[in-house]
Amino acid sequence: MDPSETLASRRDRAFHLHPSSNLAALRTEGPLVIVRGDGVHVIDEAGNRYLEGMAGLWCAGLGFSERRLAEAAYRQMLELPFYHAFSNKVAAVSAELAERIVGVAPAGLSRVFFANSGSEANDSAVKLAWYLSNAVGRPEKKKIISRRRAYHGVTVASGSLTGLPFAHGDWDLPAPRFLHTETPHHWRYAKPGESEEAYAERLAAELERLILAEGPDTVAAFFAEPVMGAGGVIVPPATYFERVQRVLTKYEVLMVADEVICGFGRTGQMFGSQTFGIRPDVLTCAKMMTSGYVPMSAMLVGDGIYRTLEQQSEKLGVFGHGFTYSGHPVAAAVGLETLRIYEERDLLAHVRRVAPVLQEGLRALADHPLVGEARGIGLIGAWELAKDRDRRESFDPKAGVGAQVVKNAQKRGAIVRVLPGDIIAFSPPLIIEAHELRELLARAEAALDETWEWVRANGLV
């Protein structure tokens, strides 16, 4: 082992099993050890500063040094460090957060179930769909539809919802009852000359054919992210959700909006459902609910679903689902303070004000020889790299072109993320200022240029 390697790096390589990482590469290259946060920057153990263009994992909306959140957690730790919500008990702060979330949620959602991660929230929504079908005497209505390239988590149920190969291969997923329909990515999958509206109509028709082929009495729910995040930052084509929602209503299929990434301001509205006119029966959220400072997630439902749950729990004696840490008071206190800051600082208006800097900056490089498509909305966006833009031809994944862009950006003090398909994602903290966005884009552009030279030198084009 390299004698110059730090103690933290040695410990990490010796004892830590990393999530979502290439473990063989980690063994040879070692980790990037982050020790401190400062606004939209993080600092490694050598003192190098990085402009964090992904808000960590799409989640640190208030950046990495918001003292008010630390103080809220500290006060709650002193007052009531833990309590649960089982057996009709609750921490007062958890009830207050539930009220606050309902106050900003899309119309029709009135009850909040707390969990600890987006995976848990989506897993809970799957179980809820099955439970509701049993409660109303439709025990065959259990199949769940999501979309190829969707990302909904990695538990057995949420990993089955996810439509990406890495979440399925060798994990024996998806489990039975889980189906996948087409990805709403116009640039990659539309037919020549097909408008966004015509493409959206075709996708809605394909969804309807799938429901009919399976049998409408067997399909319980449809899960969708307003903007597909880890599957490629895919913004839906015009009229897509309007047409999909009509199909779901026709066959009494629940619309579950996965707002784990989009929720709490990422698209310029409080929720992506509001941005795209989605009317969810169930909504899941996490990440920016606490700005990522402590783990917390939620599943929201309306009065109609809640009445069914209430009746069924009376019949059975209990609503038999929940977690030890559901509504954890420290997480709830941080969530409350996060929402107060969003409101006090009018973060939604700020996002709408600075978002054009990101979106115009991404699209300004749409003609770069490495870029196939530039896309995004609000403070989320991406470059999809392409070997041949006109033919929509990707690089061989083994070439690692996207990973090279990320590596070159990191050398320049910018953290972005490569997604499957050589897609370079951007999702900075909501507090980022226009000049910081321009700096992030400038460093990313320099990384693109260096990677283009590397691609040519290695004969990849």
- Average of pLDDT values for 118-130? 98
Q: What pLDDT, on the 0 to 100 scale, is given for residue 3?
A: 64
- Average of pLDDT values for 18-30? 92
Is-contact 280 244, C-beta < 8 A? no
Q: Omega of the bond prior to 174 within 30 degrees of 0, cis?
A: yes
Per-residue pLDDT reduced to its tens digit, 194-234: 999 999 999 999 999 999 999 999 999 999 999 999 999 99
Per-residue pLDDT reduced to its tens digit, 236-269: 999 999 999 999 999 999 999 999 999 999 999 9
- Average of pLDDT values for 153-181? 97
Is-contact 395 460, C-beta < 8 A? yes
Is-contact 434 440, C-beta < 8 A? no
| Confidence band of 449 (pLDDT split at 50, 70, 90) | very high
Per-residue pLDDT reduced to its tens digit, 339-380: 999 999 999 999 999 999 999 999 999 999 999 999 999 999
Per-residue pLDDT reduced to its tens digit, 292-348: 999 999 999 999 999 999 999 999 999 999 999 999 999 999 999 999 999 999 999
Q: What pLDDT, on the 0 to 100 scale, is given for residue 336?
A: 98
Q: What pLDDT, on the 0 to 100 scale, is given for residue 337?
A: 98
- SS3 string, the chain, reads CCCCCCHHHHHHHHHCCCCCCCHHHHHHHCCCCEEEEECCEEEECCCCEEEECCHHHHCCCCCCCCHHHHHHHHHHHHHCCCCCCCCCCCCHHHHHHHHHHHHHCCCCCCEEEEECCHHHHHHHHHHHHHHHHHHCCCCCCCEEEEECCCCCCCCHHHHHHCCCHHHCCCCCCCCCCEEEECCCCHHHHCCCCCCHHHHHHHHHHHHHHHHHHHCHHHEEEEEECCCECCCCCECCCCCHHHHHHHHHHHCCCEEEEECCCCCCCCCCCCCHHHHHCCCCCEEEECHHHCCCCCCCEEEEECHHHHHHHHHHHHHHCCCCCCCCCCCCHHHHHHHHHHHHHHHHCCHHHHHHHHHHHHHHHHHCCCCCCCEEEEEEECCEEEEEECCECCCCECCCHHHCHHHHHHHHHHHCCEECEEECCCEEEECCCCCCCHHHHHHHHHHHHHHHHHHHHHHHHCCCC
CB-based contacts of 256, cutoff 8 Å, min separation 6: 122, 125, 129, 221, 222, 223, 224, 280, 281, 282, 283, 284
Is-contact 124 299, C-beta < 8 A? yes
pLDDT surpassing 80 at residue 2: no
Distance CA 253, CA 63 (A): 38
Phi, psi of 195 (to 5 degrees): -70, 165
Q: Work out the mean pLDDT of the chain and round it to a whole number.
A: 97
pLDDT surpassing 60 at residue 135: yes
Please give the domain boundaries of the chain with CATH numbers for all domains: 32-65+346-457 (3.90.1150.10), 69-344 (3.40.640.10)
CA distances to 240, 257, 409 from 250, rounded to whole Å, are: 16, 18, 48
Distance CA 200, CA 215 (A): 22
Q: What pLDDT, on the 0 to 100 scale, is given for residue 198?
A: 98
Distance CA 306, CA 302 (A): 6
